[in-house]
Amino acid sequence: MTRRRFIRDLATLAGAAATLPGARALAQDAWPAKPVRLIHGFTAGGAVDIQARLLAQQLTERLGQTAYVEGKPGAGGTLGANFVAKAPPDGYTLFFMASGHSAAPGLYKSLPFDPAGDFTLVHKLVPM
């Protein structure tokens, strides 16, 4: 899969996220009508942050609307995951998660979110 095709597919799937159940009542305007946030749970300058910023740049160019990255580091990415889990399901907050997200239930006694139920997969990235 080429990078160009991947970005195109991701942008298409991100647009589809606005039509998920629960988001329909909130998504009244054409998507995206405001900036799109990509949240990750790691520090600035790391591998996840760099990939998220590259994706945000491509989404900004493709969608004609600003896409920006916010890092919410701490607790192995679970702080960022909790922030996204509590965000409105309107398609404007996307979680750029790393593979370690699936290990969180085994590492922590309790989590303030459901790792499987509170998130909807939009697209799977393959490391470059």
34-38, 58-62, 124-128: the lowest-pLDDT one: 124-128
**Phi, psi for 38 (deg, rounded to 5):** -110, 115
Distance CA 111, CA 48 (A): 22
Q: What pLDDT was estimated at residue 21?
A: 53
**Phi, psi for 126 (deg, rounded to 5):** -110, 130
Reported as a single tens digit per residue, the pLDDT across 64-120 is 999 999 999 988 889 999 999 999 988 899 999 877 777 888 888 889 998 888 888
User: Looking up tokens 């697209």, which residue turns up?
Assistant: 123
Residue 48 vs residues 40, 116, 124, 125: alpha-carbon distances, Å: 7, 21, 14, 11
Say if pTM beats, i.e. exceeds, 0.95.
no
Query: What are the structural domains, with CATH classification, of the chain?
Result: 3-20+36-107 (3.40.190.150)
* Mean pLDDT for the chain overall: 82
Quickly state the pLDDT bin for 3 (edges 50, 70, 90).
low
